[in-house]
Chains A and B, each alone.
Chain A
Amino acid sequence: MIDSDEEGSPFKWMQGVDEPKPAFVIVDPFVIRKDYEIRLDDEVLNELEIKSPSDVSVFCIVVVPDDISKMTVNLQAPVVINCANRRGRQLILDTDRYGVRHYILDELRRQEDKADAGADEEKGPVHNHK
């Protein structure tokens, strides 16, 4: 069962239908890393009976410490859910690209910096050869 905390929030809660605890804060990883990429092998596709990519939802688990600005997300072990049959599981990605602890605010700041850099290039007419 996944609840949205607020309208339009990228953060949601994940908790069991039968047992309210444990409850996990989860987030859409593509909001944290636009180029987040995972590959689902046949074993996972079969286990979750995935028939179509559009049925797949991916969430990553967030750890929120007392100092909220240090919240981290586990990009190495996403939770993959087949919305068509509500089956899901946590995958451990076999990759060096992601770790179990990414500081969310740092990742967002990095995105903003990238966006700003892009914007500057477009501003000056001298640089705009398009």
Chain B
Amino acid sequence: MLVLTRKKDQSIIINENIEITVLDIQGDQVRIGIKAPREVSVHRKEIFLQISEENRKAASTNVKADLDNLLKNSRFAALKKADGDQGAK
């Protein structure tokens, strides 16, 4: 990991087209501004990790038989009715 020390209002340039600026420092919180091209995704790490983890768990689902059972549950019979009432969005 490259470690740089910045003061408030100082920046870092990554790949010549991404700029990270320390906007404000209050106690243990740092406000960080990010300028990046639209195609570059930027997310808080914990969200990103949560989603990766959920995707991983979802991919290891192996429940074809069980899903069929799920549908026999009356609650999901109600879902079928609700589905008919739903608009496209």
Residues of A within 8 A of B (CB): 5-6, 8-11, 21-25, 28, 30-31, 34, 42-43, 47, 53-54, 56, 58, 61-64, 68, 71-72, 74, 76-77, 90, 92, 100-101, 105, 108, 111-112
Chain A interface mostly helix, strand, loop or mixed?
mixed
- Contact, CB under 8 Å: A100 / B61: no
Interface flag for B13 (CB, 8 Å): no
Chain B residues, CB < 8 A from A22: 59-60
- Contact, CB under 8 Å: A77 / B82: no
- Contact, CB under 8 Å: A5 / B69: no
Chain B min CB distance to A118 (Å): 14
15 new A-B pairs (CB below 8 Å) besides A6-B68, A100-B54? A10-B79, A22-B60, A24-B59, A25-B67, A47-B39, A63-B54, A63-B57, A63-B58, A64-B58, A68-B66, A76-B47, A100-B51, A108-B79, A111-B82, A112-B75
Give Cα distance in the complex from A98 to B61, angstroms. 22
- Contact, CB under 8 Å: A101 / B54: yes
Known: A76-B51, A100-B51. A92 touches B86 (CB 8 A): no
Neighbour of B89 across the interface among A11, A30, A72, CB < 8 A = A30
Interface flag for B80 (CB, 8 Å): yes
Chain A min CB distance to B53 (Å): 8
- Contact, CB under 8 Å: B59 / A23: yes
Known: A61-B58, A74-B51, A77-B54. A8 touches B80 (CB 8 A): yes
